[in-house]
Structure 1
């Protein structure tokens, strides 16, 4: 049986890619691993969304095996106008929230009980031309056997 977080990430990524509002803002630039140049800097145009860290906490009760999985998505914008002031980053965060909060996603071998938006932060980046949004979603997953 596949790892629950692996299945959840795949389903979330598919939902983001299928969402018209998200696509209007970032196109197809949604990555689990951002392509990099030789020097380690991103080799994709802004704006884009990348997968951040995830955590898993076992949440078993009675005879039901469940997991609480938290997935982070990072939103990256840079450039002039709305991108420079962070407005574009906030718009993308809003579209990501609408696409995923409460979404009913199908997982291949597990059951998604709930998917909730938990946190949005806009962070300062060492490069003042870059806006960095952090979004966290928490899922309750039933480990079907």
Structure 2
């Protein structure tokens, strides 16, 4: 399994354990019937970050938190909880620096739902 997929699986498992208010509704992609609140993994990207004798990547991922329009405070709390769960966390089995939260925000989605965003990044050594 490639690093990106393995990291996504580890992040889903981490959020499920560390953020019980999501009631294990954490996935790569939700379906229309998924009840609020829930969390999905959004876009990811990486850029080369090589050093002497080390091939590496700066790997970034967006974590999306979704809730109804009546729950702005609850979304803010979930954003804080997800950010705390991922900040300074290292995934076992990877040669990497701990994750850093680079952005945390709450906004209103055009659909009327509330949308929280937590962006994380880490330096990951290529296998």
TM-score between both structures, scaled by the size of structure 2: 0.92
Structure 1: gaps (5+ residues): 36-41
Q: How many residues are treated as equivalent by the alignment?
A: 127
Q: Distance in 1 between matches of 2:36 and 2:57?
A: 34
Q: Distance in 2 between matches of 1:16 and 1:118?
A: 17
Q: Secondary structure at the match of 1:106?
A: coil
2:96 corresponds in structure 1 to: 112
TM-score between both structures, scaled by the size of structure 1: 0.81
Name the larger-Rg structure. 1
Contact 2:55 2:126 in 1 (8 A): yes
How far the C-alpha of 1:54 sits from its partner, in A, is 0.2
Query: RMSD of aligned C-alpha atoms?
Result: 1.4
Q: Distance in 2 between matches of 1:76 and 1:15?
A: 18
Q: Does 1:131 align with 2:114?
A: yes
Contact 1:106 1:112 in 2 (8 A): no
Runs (4+) of structure 1 moved beyond 3 Å?
none
Structure 2: gaps (5+ residues): none
